[in-house]
Amino acid sequence: MEFFLASARPVEGRFSITTQAEHFTVSEIQHRDQGVCYVYKPEEGYTGADLVEIKRADSDGANIYSETITTFTIKVTN
C-alpha cells in the first residue's frame, strides 16, 4: 500500500515516522520522482488494523517553523 505525502521533496525539513506500525514487513517513507510516499506492506497472514504516525517538519535551514503529525490507521484484509 502506498500513501502519497507530498508532491515535492522537501529541500529543508523532513518527513519521519514517529509511531511505527506493528505488523509490517515494509513500513517506510520513500522519496520518488513524483514526491514523497509512505509505503506499507503487512506481515504475511496479518489481518486487522495497524497504525502509523508520520511527522512533517518544515524548515528554512536554520529553524523548524512548522510541524504536522498525520496518523494513518491501515485496515488490512485478505
* 24-41 pLDDT tens trace: 999 999 988 888 999 999
**What's the mean per-residue pLDDT of the chain?**
91
Contacts of 53 (CB under 8 A, 6+ apart): 17, 18, 19, 69, 70, 71, 72
Q: Tell me, what's the pLDDT at 70? A: 94
Q: What is the pTM of this model?
A: 0.85
